Each structure stands twice: as structure tokens, then as C-alpha cells.
Amino acid sequence: MERRRPTSRTTTPSGDELGFVPGTEPHRNAKAPQQRLRSFAQPLLLAIFLVTSLRITLHPPSVATLSNHRGGRQYASINDACRGYQGILHIAQGDQEGAAGTIFFLFIVNQLLYAHEHNLIPWIHLNNASHHIYDPVVHGDRGSFQTVRVRDTVHAAWSGFRDPIADKHFRFPGPPKWNHTHDDAVVSTIRLQPVTVSGTGVWKSYFEPVSAFSPNDPSCQQLPMVRLSYSQIIPGLHLYCPWAVRAWRYGGMPPTLRRNDVSYDEWFHPMRQRGGQIVQQYFRFRPYLLQSAHRANPSSTHCLAMHVRHSDKANRRQKIPLSQFLPYVDAYLKQVPSGTVYLATDSSKVLQQLQATTQYRGRLNWQDEALRSNDTTAVFRMTGGHHETNIQVLVDILAMSKCEFLLHGLSAVSEAALYLQPTLQGNGHSVNLELPKHASVHDFQRVLQREYGIPSNAN
């Protein structure tokens, strides 16, 4: 049976969030309008069209339109993996300063969203631009080169919008600049262009491929390869794109995307939906990481995860004192006798303090032998062996995602756990202690009572 993907879609905007909405086709009235109404109707329709065009720019397709196919799906033969796509998106880089949580769960996710928007089959082979995740020993060239032959290579055009608050124009990557038509002669009459990449590509050290793309597949060789420029990735996608996912309100974002008029919960909701669906469809961890996460957090029943970041924490964020976490931890352990706590932290001092607390002994899990900081030095700056720090971050993310509750601050690592475990996203299952308005300990206790059927007078 032939497997095909849609090659186009028409979208209409939603009025209640900066998010995606399902596509719809325009309705055509079978009856022609009366001649005497045309002079009134045409200017009105033009105005509606202009307003709608702006809103479509700010409201791309819904998560409901994302493909139901999982990355790496199986095919009947090697010759149809790219059939039905318009091109290949080579995901080659994130930003220079991002670490594992940011690169893998924000920059990769946003480029996968771009691939969905433009019907491109994604292929991840990262270069060394993101030097906090690139390990020259593990991911380096070592004389290793791979040549992929494709129809041609193309870049993306720029899209954008004018922010009415800032009175400034912001640009983000738009459709690919196709330089062929789909009616061109078959690929056998076209001289294929080589694209050479070096090293391991980083991604495959931790994850399975996100698609069935193969350089030896004739259906892939018939397609052009799309590459986003560095400036289209950052600031384009990361700061200025209306449908990108983000871990907090970054400095430099357009005011209409920062949405300071709404709560963080409302702001996060559509992004977590999009990010969660992309991660559920595409991210498949290597077995050794899953096994390491189980060893770090063997809990098979109830657990509370806490992410305490105490080294570097920049870009308008604050470090949350451990003392703010502990009342929630105490409430959880009191009301859930079988529950355990998983600690993900970059601070050796935090781990030592909790290990020394008598009431937590036997109920606290953490990742053994992980590199941690004694001060404000970021862990990824303490070593050139970024492969090991990548593993440690990914194991913490997986271990936290096994839990039913999460205490955290503003962080890409915390968002990654929320993407992996959607049940953490609502109903009081996660508490962001960095936000001015967050659930109190009493609110948290009521959630526990509701979830576990604990009588309200059990306190």
C-alpha cells in the first residue's frame, strides 16, 4: 500500500491563543451576489482578508494537523521513505551557547515543527556549532565523512510580522525557496548534488533517527534538501517565530509574543502541547539512557521529582533556594507514605544537604557519579567531555518524567520533562516555584488529597 503525506494545507487562525488550529477549506457560496451589493461587499471582504492574512502569520496550523506517523516508522522497502514529502530538512545546528536541554528540546523541536509546517522529512546530523554539547572525541570527525546526494540544496525565505507594540518588524524562517517544479523530469535526468557531512552528527549518540530518511533511497534522492541559516535559527526561530516553543519569556522577544498580559500558565499551555506532541512522535532514546534513568529512579509507583538548578542561571531567571522546595517535599512524603523523591540538581551542596536530612533517607533518589558544581560555574563549562554531561542531563530528564509530580523553576530541562510526560502539565501536577503566582503548599496538599483519595482531615 502506498504511504503518502499531505503536500499542502489551508489554515485559519484561532482567536484565543498564539497556537495552532486545524486547517479548514474556504466555503464557496453557490449563489452569485447581487450586482448592487458588490460595491459594498468587495471592500469589506478585502479588509477581512487583510486582517485574516496577518492573523494567519501569527497563528500557524494546529497540533491537531501534525502527522500521526512516528519518527523512524517502518516501510515496506528502502525505496519509499521520502515519498509524499516536498523536501528534506537537514537539521544541522542549534545556537552556540545552548546546552543539552536547550539544544535537544527547544532548537531541535522548533526545527521539527518547521519541517511539519512545510511538509519536509527531517534528518538530524548536527555540526559542532553548539559547542556545549559537541564532544570532539565522541562526535568528532576522525576522518569520518558521509556524502548524501539530493536533487539540489535550497535555503528558506524569510517571513515576518510587524509588532504593533514595539512598532518594529521581526523576521523568522518562511517557506523554502524552491528552484524547481514538481512536474520536472524524473531524477534520472538530473545531476544529483552531493552534500557532505562529517562526524557522527551528535544526535545518534543519544536518540534513534527521527525519520526513515536514507541517503540510498531513490525517493529521497529525488527531493531537494532544505537548510536553515544560523540567523534563521537564532534569533529567527528561537525569539521571533510566533509558533516556536520556549522555556521562559526570553529577553529580546517581541512584546506580542511575550504576552505579559497573561499568566505564565496560559502562555505555556499551547507551547507545551506542541512541544509534547513533537517529542512523543519523534524522540526515541537509546536503550542505555532508558536503563540509566531506571537505575537513577527505580520507583515504579509514586514519586515526586524536583529540579534544583543552582549553578549558572541567566536570562532574567532566579535561583530558587532549596528552602522553598522542602515544604512541598515534606507534604508529599507525609501524605504519600509509599512515595519517593527524585532529585535532579547541578549543585553538590544541594545533594549533600538532602542526603544529610534524616527524614529523607531511604526515600530520596538521585543520579550517582554525576558531575556537579560547588559554586556558580555551569557543569558544562567544567569539562570538555560534553558527551558525559549530555548523558547526565538526559538521564535526569528521563528520570523526572517517570514521576507524577514535579517541582521546578524556569528551565529547558524542566520543560523537557513536561514534554515527555504530558500528565505533568496540568491539574496541579507541576509547581513552578520561580513564578510570583504559584501553587501554595496548601494548594499542593489538596491536589495530593484529590489524586490519592486522602481525606481532607488527614493532616
Please state the pTM of the whole predicted model. 0.82
Residue 178 pLDDT > 60:
yes
User: pLDDT at position 45, please?
Assistant: 39
**Residue 371 maps to a domain:** yes
Work out how many domains the chain is built from and give that number.
2
Residue 32 pLDDT > 70:
no
Give per-residue pLDDT as tens, 41-64: 444 433 433 343 344 334 444 444
User: pLDDT at position 33, please?
Assistant: 41
**Residue 264 maps to a domain:** yes
- Residues 399, 259, single domain; the answer is no
pLDDT (mean) for 79-97: 94
| DSSP secondary structure string for all residues of 25-43 | PPP--SSPPPHHHHHHHHH
CA distance 401 to 276: 12
- Residues 185, 329, single domain; the answer is no
CA distance 124 to 225: 12
| Of the candidate ranges 27-31, 129-133, 172-176, 355-359, the one whose mean pLDDT is the lowest | 27-31
- Residues 309, 429, single domain; the answer is yes
Confidence of residue 217 (pLDDT cuts 50, 70, 90): very high
Angle at which helices 287-296 and 386-401 pack, to 10 degrees? Answer: 60
Q: Is 329 helix (H, G, I), strand (E, B) or coil?
A: helix
Average pLDDT, rounded, for the chain: 82
Classify residue 77 by burial, with Cβ atoms within 10 Å: 0-12, 13-18, 19+: exposed
pLDDT (mean) for 379-388: 72
C-alpha cell at 254: 517581541
Residue 340 pLDDT > 90:
yes
| Nearest partner of 248 among 406, 102, 141, 369, judged by Cα | 102
CA distance 118 to 410: 30
Instruction: Answer with the residue of higher pLDDT: 354 or 23.
Output: 354
Q: Which amino acid is at 235?
A: P
**Residue 440 maps to a domain:** yes
User: pLDDT at position 314, please?
Assistant: 61
Q: Return the percentage of the chain with pLDDT > 70, whole number.
A: 74
Instruction: Answer with the residue of higher pLDDT: 397 or 64.
Output: 397
Domain end position, chosen among 256, 282, 308: 282
Question: For every residue of 251-293, which 3-state class applies, written as one string?
Answer: CCCCHHHHCCCCCHHHHHHHHHHHHHHHHHHHCCECHHHHHHH
Cβ pair 443, 418 in contact under 8 A: no
| Nearest partner of 178 among 193, 156, 149, judged by Cα | 156
Residue 182 pLDDT > 80:
no
CA distance 440 to 455: 19
Instruction: Answer with the residue of higher pLDDT: 283 or 143.
Output: 283
- Residues 237, 374, single domain; the answer is no
Give per-residue pLDDT as tens, 400-441: 999 999 999 999 999 999 999 999 998 899 999 999 899 999
Residue 2 pLDDT > 50:
no
- Residues 250, 350, single domain; the answer is no
Structural domain containing residue 403: 287-458
- Residues 183, 67, single domain; the answer is yes
